[in-house]
Amino acid sequence: MNRCRVCHTESCKKSRLKHIEHCNEVCRIYRDNNKEKIRKHFKDTYIPKPKHIQYQWPPPIEKRCTKCGEVKPVELFVKSSKTKHGIGSNCKECVKLNSKKNRIKNQKVKIELCPKLSKSEKSRIYRQNNQSQGEVNRCKARAKKYNAIHYNHNPKIELVLHDVRYRVQKCLGIDYIIDYILPLEKGGYNHHMNLQVIPKSLQSKKASSLSYTHPSLTHWTELPEFLISHIKNLEITVDEMSGKIFCPKCSTFKYKDEFFLKYKNSSELHSRCKLCMYNATHDWRQKNVEHITQYTKTYNKMNSDKLLARGRDYKKNNKSKVQASIKAWNNKNKHLKILYQNKRQTIKTSAYHPNHNPNIEKTFLLMSKRLSECLHVPYNVDHILPLDCGGYHHHGNLQVISARLNFSKKNRLNFHHPLLTHWTDLPIFLIDKIKL
């Protein structure tokens, strides 16, 4: 039988769990009711922990070594700040023997050279014995020039590839070389997945071109995406089998007609296709609308004479093109053409009102156009008080009527019709200039 510390009742092993649950509830109720008492008690009895290990004094005179199991004086042991007395668990002799064993394990084989050899001969012998490591260092230095060192590169795999290359070279008696699948000049990374062992003759043919294909070589298009993302637009790759050109932006093969010329009088093509170029310019213009408007305004002010002269020369040299473009615009925008004609006519007659709203005039013109299309009868926008009689070109002085009524009305002030608004119904500021 055991006695509970909280309720002081005896309990066997079977009923012990019930007592524990009961005692926990009692403790929780006591803590909730007596919070201030508990806090005062902790403040009075709290002892802070030492930040560093407090060494016991006096220290022991002798100690047993855990490595060799012998009892030795404390002076023959290693010091350590982790133990209570400041003395380590191993003696000095055991630590020396252990360090020697580790050195022998991790020691590299050193070649003893004759002291009479010159520096050049010593360096040649060192290169022969460390060829793979030297090539790895050379590749790293070359990759630094192009900023092509990848953070996930594994140099151990690169060393293995260099060793394989030397073994194959000795067995077959042919010069082999380690090549970058996607060259560094074209945006390739110094990554172990971007390396391949190929003969030197193939590497000289391939060089740094992206279009070269061979059955024994892995093409750069077979690499994962994170190795192709850094590709540069320095060369257009031609697929000789299909006669298409590769666009590195959208990573697809396309025909030559889908690329712009790099220069006007040359046969060189641009690296990116037309669609990619259009999308890039469209995105840039949407982001920089304010910059474009400010630039155009300043340029037009600074070079107004040059722009006028350029426009005149173009119209003289391309009369047929200009006339065709004007006709096409007039057919598409008839209502705008009428608006501009009316504005020009009213300016000539000095009848253009300063408070005129051209947007309302546009609605009148569009309404006349729709009526004529739906009813198959020509409709016009007419001035209620004619311009010849002192009327203003103002949106309040406009009305949509049929062409027959407009022809019968002409410039008369005494013409009356139930479908027409008379000039006497207009406000005073539109009649102040009337000529009776």
Encode 347-362: b = buried (16+ Cβ within 10 Å), e = exposed: eeeebbbeebeeeebe
What is the structure's pLDDT at 293?
92
181 C-beta neighbours (distance < 10 Å), count: 20
What stretches in the chain show pLDDT beneath 50? 14, 233-242
pLDDT confidence of residue 117: 67
pTM of the model: 0.30
Map out the domains of the chain as residue ranges.
Answer: 1-31, 62-105, 333-430
What is the tens place of the pLDDT at every residue in 55-94? 556 677 888 898 888 999 988 998 887 777 788 889 999 9
Q: Please report the pLDDT score of residue 238 as a whole number.
A: 42
Per-residue pLDDT, 146: 65
- Residue 225: its pLDDT value, please? 73
Residue 231 has a pLDDT of 65
Residue 376's region, left for phi above 0, alpha for psi from -120 to 50, else beta, is left
Spatial separation of the C-alpha atoms in residues 87 and 195, rounded to whole Å: 53
Neighbours of 167 (CB within 10 A): 11
